[in-house]
Amino acid sequence: MIRISKILLMIIIACYLVSCKADPKGLVSSSDVDKRFADSASLPEKSDVSIGGEETEFSFIVIADPHVYHGSDSGLTELKAKLLQDRDNGINDKFLIACGDISQRGDTEDFLAFRDILAPEFPVYTTLGNHDVYYDGWYNYREIFGKSCYTFKAGSSVRFVSFDSANGTLGRKQKNWLEGVLKNSTEPLCFVYTHFELFSPNSTTIQQYTDIEEAYYLIHLFKKTGVDYVFMGHSHDYYDKEINGTHYLNISGFTDKKDYFRFYVNLVNGTIRYERKSL
């Protein structure tokens, strides 16, 4: 029995090490979700995105897991060039969302590299990944990107909400905050984004939500509050699963797949569509 337990433990460790470029040493000095939520209270709110009154549709970009390391651009320079070329051809993406693991190990130079490559042409809205809080990376992240969880609007009819899942759990205070934001939202369209998957079709991805009841709670909350899309990352796999009217879209890893997703939101009829593209 002891031998079997040791074998199972070794399998679990091996799965962890091959998932999401794991760095076991970084886990020792990662921060706590409740502490990050408390820290965020004093940080500035995110700016809303202005949509012109004559615009009937707008687009935005979603990526996940760029894993910038030692200031490398991780393909972001090529992505920016492609988006600028599209802009010249009439596709004016308003902003870019990144679903966590911006950096490989939470270093300031990597957060700055990510921001500065894309700015100022493309405002970035990020969420924390587990790699971003390695080696106390939260303290570097907050200086560059600000809050660990936040909400903003695009125009008057689209709500965006980011929550912190970098530890695989919400924490009580953030859970109450998220429920309050979604229940009080009056916009007809709503997108939510985070890092960890609520579920995964990949059996080797074991590092995800640690509390299955919390995952069920979130799925129920998103149904009850009419969330249209939930963007996730972490496993670097792509899938789109609809549950109770909400699309759970896992964004394939930018660092290895070089995929990016362009979303189009029609402000007249409220329809949403997206394209999966690669560099």
* Structural domain containing residue 40: 2-278
**Angle at CA 253, nearest 5°, toward 251 and 255?**
150
The count of residues in the chain is 279
pLDDT in tens, 128-161: 999 999 999 999 999 999 999 999 999 999 999 9
- For 23, the token pair is 């760095």
pLDDT at 8 exceeding the cut of 80 = no
Among 215, 240, 216, 213, smallest CA distance to 229 is for 240
Q: Are 122 and 83 in contact (CB under 8 A)?
A: yes
* Pairing state between β 229-232 and 189-193: parallel
Whether the predicted pLDDT of 1 surpasses 80: no
Q: Residue 51 maps to which CATH number?
A: 3.60.21.10
DSSP at 189? E
The pTM assigned to this predicted structure is 0.90
Tell me the pLDDT tens digit for each residue of 256-270: 999 999 999 999 999
pLDDT at 25 over 90: no
pLDDT digits (tens, 9 = 90+) for 168-194: 999 999 999 999 999 999 999 999 999
**Domains of the chain: total:** 1
- Alpha carbons 20 and 218: distance in angstroms, whole number: 23
| CA quadruple 110, 116, 121, 127: dihedral sign | positive
**Three-class DSSP category at 99:** coil
